């Protein structure tokens, strides 16, 4: 394959001139430029892009860490990230981690090795100290509320969102309220749990562990939660459900067994996905596509420690 | 940042020795190796991985082209691809195309530029001639049945799958059958249309354009299809629906309006996703996770023109 020296020789110009043409340098003699372009054509010159990265230090690649690709919450975020990457002529390196720290470390290592210009964590399993160890290697953005002079953050205030939904239920005369979340260890979940505990304490309600469901992500998880609730002697009158997929499963399983929503069980979901809209579920809408777009923008700015809070909206429908 | 020469000087060995240590060459004096490793530590030496790619010609990156990230069919394929990539220590470069040829060309260009070791098309908008122009640059795998000495193919026989589902409906005394598919122009869709047309001709049934629905992908699309069917003067007695999401939308909208499945309309979906299982929809199960895994394996083999047909299975439930 022809290299830059072959090209210079063929075109009868210096290597510097060829380099200037390749890098769109403004001050190149037009006639020489034409000769270089003609030689590129003739010698079928292909630029080795890895060599270009080596010289520019830019890859135009952004890494994206998601626990699960095949879940509406994460695939909607990913849709927003992908839309924006396309618009800004960047490529995405995808890491599906199943919440395994080892895979997250691979992504961080690639940032360190300059194989990407920045890294987005849609959710993470690794500890804060791991991020601290890597933050100097390039811009990192998280979907959680952090204050750090290096790490950026595009987030929803999940404390306020949970509190908002709880107050809505309380206004509708509910006090026996349970909740369903994903992991209990994630930073967003911790904020939700805190909002719940504080609210229940203010109400003077006991916190009942059997009305709390963790590791709930899918429609099937929702079906199983409904099954376990329906056989309880004492049931909550309302459930706050951190994913509309789970809320839809609960809704459908209750209705199938002759229990009426909201009379027998009120439900507030999160996300406002297609199922929530179809089943007329009250839900907290999260602007996930826009959040994905913001994540990419923040990382591309190449600045450190940017913060962007995304709004949430309560959508009142028929399930409360 | 320290480079390989600094390292050699600091360790008091030749550049060749350092290079051997970095590349895990078997014949290196143990004592020299220790000195190089110690110097790497001391000088905080970071290998520039783009330089490594340049010398090995391998990137450990596989490109993946999908029209939509946020759709269960494609995100399930992507889950399988990601699982396998993780297992085999490869990274994925993701291209969400919205079926725009320009973005597919970017992916193909990166293959040409050696920025990835292979490329998977979960679906494509570009013409066959575009693939022909790029196939020599690295292994390409498609999710459609092609016979080519370069391009690999991991596919479902959609002609047979559609035919199988049609015969099932015919055995259940249906002859007024319509269908819903995604694009009408894709190679898989063409096979489905051919299966439908041949079967209808054999039955002596007229093909009615108003019973054929294209561009149907989502639950909402299914709801709209049901709405338009329910107001027709003459309705099909059965629908073959190439996506369970669409089938679920049709099912739910019919039931909401008091129409009974299967008495008023029989439905056969495709995929066997969570909604199909919950709604008791008869469906053709497609092994999408396994198909994703195979796609990655085929591309990693680095051989050209491999072919792997994936099986489909009719799951008979309550919607026929």
Is B214 found in the same domain as B178? Answer: yes
Q: By the CB < 8 Å criterion, does B82 face chain A?
A: yes
Distance CA B161, CA A104 (A): 39
Question: Which residue does chain B place closest to A54, by CA atoms?
Answer: B50
In which domain, by residue range, is A17 found? 4-47
DSSP string, B188-204: HHHHHHHHHHHHHHHHT
Same domain, A177 and A167: yes
Q: How far apart are the first and last CA of chain A?
A: 68
Instruction: Check A96 against B115: CB less than 8 A apart.
Output: no
In a domain, A119, yes or no: yes
Pick from A48, A82, A219: CB nearest B96: A82
CATH, residue B16: 1.10.260.40
> Which residues have a Cβ under 8 Å from the Cβ of B24 and sit 6 or more positions away?
none
Model pLDDT, residue B311? 97
> Which residues of B are less than 8 Å from A251 in CB distance?
none
Give chain A's radius of gyration (CA, Å). 26
* Residue B24 in domain: yes
Q: Nearest residue on chain B to A100, judged by CA atoms?
A: B86
| A33 in a structural domain | yes
Q: What is the DSSP secondary structure assignment for residue A286, as one 8-state letter?
A: -
Give A32's pLDDT tier (boundaries 50, 70, 90): confident
Q: Are residues B132 and B30 in the same domain?
A: no
Tokens of A253: 């399983």
Are B211 and B237 a contacting pair, CB within 8 Å?
no
* Phi and psi angles of residue B137, each rounded to the nearest 5 degrees, phi first: -85, -10
pLDDT at A50 over 60: no
Is residue A66 domain-resident? Answer: yes
| pLDDT value of residue A55 | 58
* DSSP helix/strand/coil, A119: strand
**Three-state SS string across A40-82, please?**
HHHCCCCCCHHHHHHHHCCCCEEEEEECCCCCHHHHHHHHHHH
Residue B218 in any domain: the answer is yes
Asked whether residue A38 is domain-assigned, the answer is: yes
Beta bridge partners of A37: none
Residue A154 pLDDT > 60, yes or no? Answer: yes
Residues of A in contact with B61 (CB under 8 A): 93
From A289, A302, A291, select the one nearest A76 (Cα to Cα).
A289
Q: Residue A23: pLDDT above 70?
A: no
Give yes or no: residues B116 and B185 share one domain: no
B133 and B180 in a common domain? no
The torsion defined by the Cα of A214, A216, A221 and A222, in degrees rounded to 10, comes to: 90
Contact of B161 with chain A, judged by CB distance below 8 Å, is answered with no
In total, the C-beta contacts within 8 angstroms joining chain A to chain B are 117
- Per-residue pLDDT band at B49 (split at 50, 70, 90): low
Question: Does B227 lie in the same domain as B118?
Answer: no
The edge-to-edge listing of strands for the beta sheet with A238-241 is A212-213, A177-180, A238-241, A266-271, A282-285, A313-315
Tokens found for residue B259: 């129409």
Does residue B45 have a pLDDT over 90?
A: no
Residues in A closer than 8 angstroms to B218, CB to CB, are: 274
Residues 6+ apart with CB under 8 A from B260: B254
Question: d(Cα B284, Cα B259) in Å, to the nearest integer?
Answer: 23
**Confidence band, pLDDT 50/70/90 cuts, at residue A49:** low
Secondary structure letter of residue A63 according to DSSP: E
Quick one: B278 and B296 in the same domain? no
The interface predicted TM-score of the complex, written ipTM, equals 0.78
B199 within domain boundaries: yes
On average, the pLDDT of chain B sits at 91
Residues B255 and B106 in one domain: no
Q: Report the percent of chain A where pLDDT is more than 90.
A: 72
Q: Is B153 helix (H, G, I), strand (E, B) or coil?
A: strand
For A49, the closest of B114, B218, B275 (CB atoms) is B114
Shared domain for A125 and A100, answered yes or no, is: yes
Which tens digits make up the pLDDT trace of B209-252?
A: 999 999 999 999 999 999 999 999 999 999 999 999 999 999 99
Cα nearest neighbour of B45 on chain A: A113
Contacts of B275 in chain A (CB under 8 A): 219
Work out the number of other CB atoms within 10 angstroms of the CB of residue B149. Answer: 7
Whether the per-residue pLDDT at B258 is higher than 70: the answer is yes
The whole-chain average pLDDT of chain A stands at 91
Residue B141 contacts by C-beta under 8 Å, 6 or more apart in sequence? B118, B119, B120, B121, B151, B152, B153, B154, B295, B298, B299, B306
- How many structural domains is chain B composed of? 3
Give the residues across from B266 on adjacent strands.
Answer: B238
User: Phi, psi (5° rounding) for residue B213?
Assistant: -125, 125
* B54 found inside a domain: no
Cβ <8 Å between A78 and B61: no
Nearest by CB to residue B103, choosing from A47, A69, A86, is A86
Residue of B nearest to A72 (CA): B70
Q: Calculate the alpha carbon distances from A129 to A74, A125, A252, A310 in Å.
A: 24, 12, 42, 26
- The answer to whether the beta carbons of residues B49 and A114 sit under 8 Å apart is yes
Residue in the block written with tokens 């709390």: A212
Taking 80 as the threshold, does the pLDDT of residue A250 lie above it? yes
Indicate if the pLDDT at residue B186 is higher than 80: yes
Lookup: tokens for A153: 């953050």
Are A123 and A66 contained in the same domain? Answer: yes
Q: How confident is the model at residue A200 (pLDDT cuts 50, 70, 90)?
A: very high
Across B192-213, average pLDDT: 96
Question: pLDDT digit string (tens) for A282-297?
Answer: 999 999 999 999 999 9
Question: A239 and A174 in one domain?
Answer: yes
* A213's tokens: 């469901």
Nearest residue of A to residue B88 by CA position?
Answer: A103
Whole-angstrom CA distances from B107 to A1, A32, B69, B81, B160 are: 21, 31, 16, 17, 31
Task: Specify whether the backbone of B99 is left (phi greater than 0), alpha (psi in -120 to 50) or beta.
Answer: left
Q: Does A56 touch chain B (CB under 8 A)?
A: no
Q: Is B138 on the interface with A (CB under 8 A)?
A: no
**For residue B192, what is the domain's CATH number?**
3.40.50.2300
Length of chain B: 320
Tell whether A235 and A303 lie within a shared domain.
no
Instruction: Evaluate whether A92 touches A62 at the Cβ level (below 8 Å).
Output: yes
Q: For chain B, say whether A78 makes contact (Cβ under 8 Å).
A: yes
Distance from CA of A161 to the nearest CA of B (A): 24
């Amino acid at each position: 394959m022809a290299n830059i020296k072959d090209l210079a020789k063929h075109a009868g110009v210096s290597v510097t001139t060829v380099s200037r043409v390749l890098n769109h340098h403004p001050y190149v003699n037009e006639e020489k430029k034409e000769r270089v372009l003609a030689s590129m054509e003739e010698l079928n010159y292909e630029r080795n892009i890895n060599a270009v990265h080596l010289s520019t230090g830019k890859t135009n690649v952004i890494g994206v860490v998601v626990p699960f690709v095949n879940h509406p919450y994460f695939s909607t975020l990913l849709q927003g990230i992908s839309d924006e990457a396309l618009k800004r002529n960047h490529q995405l390196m995808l890491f599906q981690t199943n919440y395994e720290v080892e895979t997250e470390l691979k992504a961080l290592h690639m940032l360190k090795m300059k194989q990407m210009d920045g890294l987005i964590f849609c959710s993470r399993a690794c500890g804060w100290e791991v991020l601290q160890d890597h933050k100097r290697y390039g811009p990192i953005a998280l979907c959680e509320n952090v204050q750090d002079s290096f790490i950026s953050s595009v987030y929803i205030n999940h404390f306020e969102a949970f509190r908002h939904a709880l107050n809505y239920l309380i206004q509708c005369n509910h006090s026996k309220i349970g909740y369903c979340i994903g992991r209990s260890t994630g930073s967003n979940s911790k904020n939700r749990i805190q909002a719940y505990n504080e609210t229940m304490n203010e109400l003077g309600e006991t916190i009942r562990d059997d009305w709390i469901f963790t590791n709930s992500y899918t429609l099937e998880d929702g079906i199983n939660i409904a099954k376990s609730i329906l056989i309880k002697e004492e049931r909550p009158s309302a459930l706050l459900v951190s994913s509309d997929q789970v809320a839809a499963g609960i809704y459908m399983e209750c209705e199938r067994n002759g229990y009426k929503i909201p009379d027998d069980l009120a439900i507030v979901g999160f996300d406002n996905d297609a199922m929530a809209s179809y089943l007329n579920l009250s839900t907290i809408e999260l602007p996930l596509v826009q959040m994905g777009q913001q994540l990419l923008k923040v990382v591309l700015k190449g600045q450190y420690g940017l913060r962007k809070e995304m709004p949430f909206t309560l959508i009142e429908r028929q399930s409360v």
